[in-house]
Structure 1
Amino acid sequence: MLTILDKYILKKYLSTFSVMLLLFAPIGIVIDVSEKINKMIENKVPIMEILVYYFNFTIYFTNLLFPIFLFLSVIWFTSKLANDTEIIAILSSGISFTRFLRPFIIGASIVSVFILLMGFFIVPKASEGFNNFRYTYLRGDGKQVMRGDATDVFRQIAKNEFIYVNSFNAETKTAYNFSYERFNKNKLQYKISARRIQWNPKTKNYTLYDFVKRTVGEFGDKIEKADQRNAKFSFDLEDLTPVIYIAETLDLGKLNRFIEKERGRGSSNINIYLVVLYKKYSIPVSAFILTIIAVAVSSMKRRGGMGMNLAIGIAIAFSFVFFDKIFGTLAEKSTFPPIIAVWFPNFIFGILAIFLLRNAKR
């Protein structure tokens, strides 16, 4: 059962974290607007789409920098408790440092569950809207939604099947400059090409415009042409999108199925998808580690006051983000195991948390 002291600290924990989010989110929006306003005006972006974009941006931005916001908020209010000698009074009353930590752990649990659910269901949708806007209006010409860092997408969808598209429009579910190649014992069996290909959700097939099929024969090639033709293929709609951030736009169930499918195909980008999956679990765990570090660092009254604690906190927080990004990139670009890369920062800072906690107890 929570005591008055537990409720007081828990209230401070959650309220300071919320205020930190409310303070930094508008700053992030203002900086983003100042950088992109000229491009938005140039492409005549509708005001409603801008509002939706910044709603998605806020979710994407806060989820990305969640460890820093949480860490600084705990540093801030715990340092204030220490400077006001409230912590000394609490510990002098006979309460152990471990017992003093309990409301912080409860607060970290609440935040972790919230971040976990957001990462499973809310952030993927926000990420999709955020990236679609970027590639439509900020990198594109306002007409085509480019789903990746490159406009050309070439993928092996089966052992003997390959597809290529120049670009993909996520809103109309249309790909441009499409080609499909099927091989038999390393020899081209036939090739289908189209100026554009569109997915039909009702009939579960594709419509190809300016259809051309070339079948390779022993004594000559057979060529078929049509202005429009419906066809079914073995690939999914997601296969027409670049692989750069597709995993970020899938909720937990779809992401697991997508990874299994890509693993079965022997995809060379499987590490990218696994990093996204493992981070959904590792980021909430970091809430506990960063909370313990923040309390251990800021619970002591220092000569430099709150400013010194904040300086130490900022250095540790950015070190955590630095390690997280470095090892994440290492897993994506090499054969380094993704699960080790994602959890390694938590492991290192977990050891640091234990060391600082023991020192704080003394």
Structure 2
Amino acid sequence: MALDARQWLDKIRALPLTSPVRIMNVCGGHERSISMAGLRSALPDMIDLIPGPGCPVCVCPEEDIYQAIQIGLNEPDSIVVAFGDMLRVPVNVSSKSVRSLEQAKAAGADIRPIASPSEAVRIAKSEPGKTVVFFVAGFETTCAPVAGMLAEGIPDNLLLLMSGRLTWPAVEMLLDYETPSFDALIAPGHVSTVMGPEEWQFVVDRHGFPAAIAGFTPDSLLAAIYSVLRQKLDGRIFLDNCYEQVVKPHGNPTARRLVESTLTIVDAPWRGIGIIPASGLELSADYAQHNARLRFPVHAENARKNAGAMPPGCDCARVVLGRIKPVDCKLFGASCTPRSPVGPCMVSDEGACRIWWSSGIRTRSAEHEETTCT
């Protein structure tokens, strides 16, 4: 019989922990569930839950956002479409310049938010005289349906500006640090559903860290937290699947085949972090005719102040890397709020800063004053 959240909490509280344990969750959806359910305040003080690199909007290269803005503003007969969160992410230009896709729309560019790849196809078919540029920022769960869209065939006037990213290379990079910022890992459920649980086996085999895959309910998350804690206590390290009802061995074979047949893995920049080898997804050579990077001039302007970086004073990169908590950023809740975000982590629904603010965590002391599930 499956345990409920209260029962898992009782089991966790009964564990004989003698030293602090830092557990990183990779998924923005996990962080939202943890924060909204108040799990941090429900768990023993020695357990530190750390949000990690689980927000594709947060790590989307600043220069790619700038490129999308410039296409919208400067390319005649163009329509730029993107998932809603991307429209508000600011780039590093002066306050007098257009700083986001949302501002480019206000300035007259044809910028449209969409919720799925099929909307991009529909818009391209309904606007045959326009060039539609689909700005794709997302992890494996976003790139899989984009791959399906490509495999089905897309209109000639639909181009893609790809900023797809793989999640595991970022975790590998964190584990390769001399002093990793966490002791155990909660691996993402949705990514594992697509790519398979095996994608996270390296955490155990190469680095010897406890790992568990979780779903998005408090009971699944608490089961994964209990698993990695028991692994540490027992000295028996393995990859545990606490989301078996959805995550199956080898993932979704069809989705993986579509990704492999339409996209190619490349070295890729992560905003504020730098280039992570083999972490990007770009259109394969067979789909080069739909690659917006090859069709339009590169609006790089690397001479721009802080081009490619986080905004000045913004600590989003260290939040994404799990080096600091959102409340440790000096801009959090001051000049940076959801109404007027400075950094991307305050824009996206999967950004740790936005999640913490929405959950009522406004100061460090408030981390332990959440509404709990008990």
Q: What TM-score comes out, normalization by structure 2 length?
A: 0.22
Richer in helix (by share): 1
Q: What TM-score comes out, normalization by structure 1 length?
A: 0.23
Q: Which has the larger radius of gyration?
A: 1
Bigger relative CO (Cα 8 Å, ≥ 6 apart): 2
